[in-house]
């Protein structure tokens, strides 16, 4: 059973993720889909890779539109994909570090007398 890194108010339609909780600001928040996808991938859950690829392509589409609107026409898709891949790499590394921290804290809590 996985524990979410950031617990959003909604689980994007997947009740098995069990991601509901309050934010530190006292209001409910929703984790970005790319973070949920990265967590699924890092934990080795089924569909994790596909979810990461989907969020990367979605992000590339947003970057593509921004580049296109400011006049970039020659290498727009390549630049958008490179930007999205860089952001996704950061998200994956951050999620991996947070999961490792949670696991260390859980191990310390169970080992403490």
pLDDT higher than 70, residue 39: yes
pLDDT higher than 60, residue 104: yes
Q: How confident is the model at residue 33 (pLDDT cuts 50, 70, 90)?
A: confident
| Sign of the alpha-carbon dihedral angle for 2, 100, 31, 62 | negative
How does pLDDT run across 83-102, given as a tens digit for each residue? 999 999 999 999 999 989 98
Q: Residue 91: its pLDDT value, please? A: 93
Rounded Cα distance between 48 and 72, Å, is: 32
How does pLDDT run across 53-63, given as a tens digit for each residue? 999 999 999 99
Question: What number of other Cβ atoms are within 10 A of residue 40's Cβ?
Answer: 21
Per-domain boundaries in the chain: 15-111
Whole-structure pTM over 0.85, yes or no?
Answer: no
pLDDT higher than 80, residue 45: yes
pLDDT higher than 70, residue 72: yes
b/e code 80-112 from CB counts within 10 Å (16+ = b): bbebbeebbeebbeebeebbeeeeeeeeeeeee
């Amino acid at each position: 059973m996985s524990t979410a890194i950031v617990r959003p108010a909604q689980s994007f339609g997947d009740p098995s993720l069990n991601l509901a909780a309050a934010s530190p600001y006292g209001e409910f928040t929703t984790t970005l889909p790319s973070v949920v996808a990265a967590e699924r991938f890092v934990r080795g859950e089924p569909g994790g890779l596909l979810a990461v690829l989907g969020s990367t392509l979605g992000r590339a589409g947003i970057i593509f539109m921004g580049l296109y609107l400011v006049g970039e026409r020659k290498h727009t898709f390549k630049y958008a994909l490179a930007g999205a891949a860089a952001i996704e790499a950061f998200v994956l590394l951050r999620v991996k570090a947070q999961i490792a921290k949670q696991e260390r804290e859980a191990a310390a809590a169970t080992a403490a007398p």
